[in-house]
Amino acid sequence: MSTITIEVSKKYDILVEENLLRRSGEEIRARFPKAEQIMVVTDDTVDGLYGERVCESLGRAGFVVHKYVFPHGEMSKTFAMMVPLVERMAELAMTRSDLIVALGGGVTGDMAGFAAAIYLRGIDFVQIPTTLLSAVDSSVGGKTAVDLTAGKNLAGVFHQPVLVLCDYSTLHSLPEEEFSTGMAEVIKHAVLMDPELFTFLEANDAKAHLGEIIPKNLIIKRAHVMADEFDTGKRQLLNLGHTLAHAVEKLSDYEINHGNAVAIGLAAICKAAHADGLAEDITDRVIFLLKKCGLQTECPFTAAEAVGVLLNDKKRSGQTINLAIPKRIGECYLYKMNVDRLEEFYRSAIG
């Protein structure tokens, strides 16, 4: 087992271990002796696969267990889906010593975390990630959100979990496409901070080494979150490849999923940054690894189309945009670019 401790406004552990679901009750009980009721929040797919295992373990640890199951998918990450959850918790008279457990991917974690942040002005919640993306990215760091009609993640708060239980044996039931989406974030992390991880991924099958790869990713995420909990500085480096990715997702009407959009964004930022004299030439290595993980790297949109969309993005402030630039594999920096230069910058990569 690996234990990684995060120290921000809250201090919490991330446990990474095979078959940890069966011991989830024990681990939670050891840290929360006073909690009586637990609301497990999960989607219908994950409930069918792992709901019983977790609820049984929680029951054995003496918790009164309730479950809120919602239809899987991003469409569910809304206020409308969250309201019955908090209403139910109030009916059950859950208190501030009780807990929410988010069992699932990023959609579940984001919505359950937001509910935990607002119910009684904030109760504790535990993340049990079951997608690779949530294991290496969304379950840690305390960003919670729901989507609004105008865009994704537009309503939310920072609310850190109190514990993260990552049982990576659950990742073997993930559809290939969902695994690839998580790999886009893994490759992003390696480019950001870990050249050895990058080389390891070039030579090995990630699925066979999850017990090593996931903790390495969590250490990278931790470094950014601990340096900048509220995302005003260093944490913005985690947006590597994401500036263009958000535009690609929107332009495709979300037909291109997040993982492929990030892969397109990573390939483009490497190529454009090198062409602009801002970085070494790492494009071929990055594209090779993205493709090896089943990701798409060709951008179907022009720089003019993409920049039009990304200038409306929430991460823009004033006349400049903060871009995460990969200087070399394992080292990145933030670069303020004038928005007037963006189209030309991306044109060298995507045309």
The residue among 39 and 282 lying less far from ligand NAD, judged by its C-beta, is 39
- Candidate list 40, 46, 213, 264; residue touching ligand NAD; CB under 6 A: 46
In whole angstroms, the minimum distance from the beta carbon of 163 to ligand NAD comes to 16
Q: Contacting ligand NAD (CB under 6 A), which of 45, 57, 160, 260?
A: 45
Q: Minimum distance from CB of 130 to ligand NAD (Å)? A: 4
The residue among 113 and 326 lying less far from ligand NAD, judged by its C-beta, is 113
- Answer for which of 25, 51, 106, 265 binds ligand NAD (CB under 6 A) is 106
CB 138 within 8 A of CB 109: yes
Decide: is 74 part of the binding site for ligand NAD (CB under 6 A).
yes
Q: Decide if residue 228 touches ligand NAD (CB under 6 A).
A: no
**Is residue 104 a contact point for ligand NAD (CB under 6 A)?**
yes
Examine residue 178 and tell whether it contacts ligand NAD (CB under 6 A).
Answer: yes
Rounded Cα distance between 125 and 38, Å, is 9
Site string for ligand NAD, 123-142 (x = CB under 6 A): -------xx-xx--xx--x-
Question: Would you count residue 108 as binding ligand NAD (CB under 6 A)?
Answer: yes
Determine which residue in the list 170, 180, 217, 260 makes contact with ligand NAD, applying CB under 6 A: 170
CA dihedral 115→120→121→127, nearest 10 degrees, is -40
Helix 176-193 and helix 283-292: axis angle, to 10°? 150
Q: Which stretch binds ligand NAD (CB under 6 A): 86-94, 104-112, 205-213, 247-255?
A: 104-112
Nearest alpha-carbon partner for 31 in 50, 5, 55, 2: 5
**Count of residues of this chain found to bind ligand NAD when the rule CB under 6 A is applied:** 29
Q: How far apart are CA 124 and CA 230, in angstroms?
A: 19
Under DSSP, is residue 207 helix (H, G, I), strand (E, B) or coil?
Answer: helix
- C-beta of 21 vs 269, nearer to ligand NAD: 21
Tell me the C-alpha distance between 138 and 129, whole Å: 8
Is the sign of the CA dihedral 216, 133, 51, 102 positive or negative? positive
Which residue from 24, 243, 228, 80 is spatially nearest to 142, judged by alpha carbons? Answer: 228
Closest CA to 160 of 202, 198, 127: 127
Alpha carbon distance 350, 120 (integer Å) = 48
Binding site for ligand NAD (CB under 6 A): 43, 45-46, 49, 72-74, 77, 104-108, 110, 130-131, 133-134, 137-138, 141, 143, 152-153, 170, 173-174, 178, 181
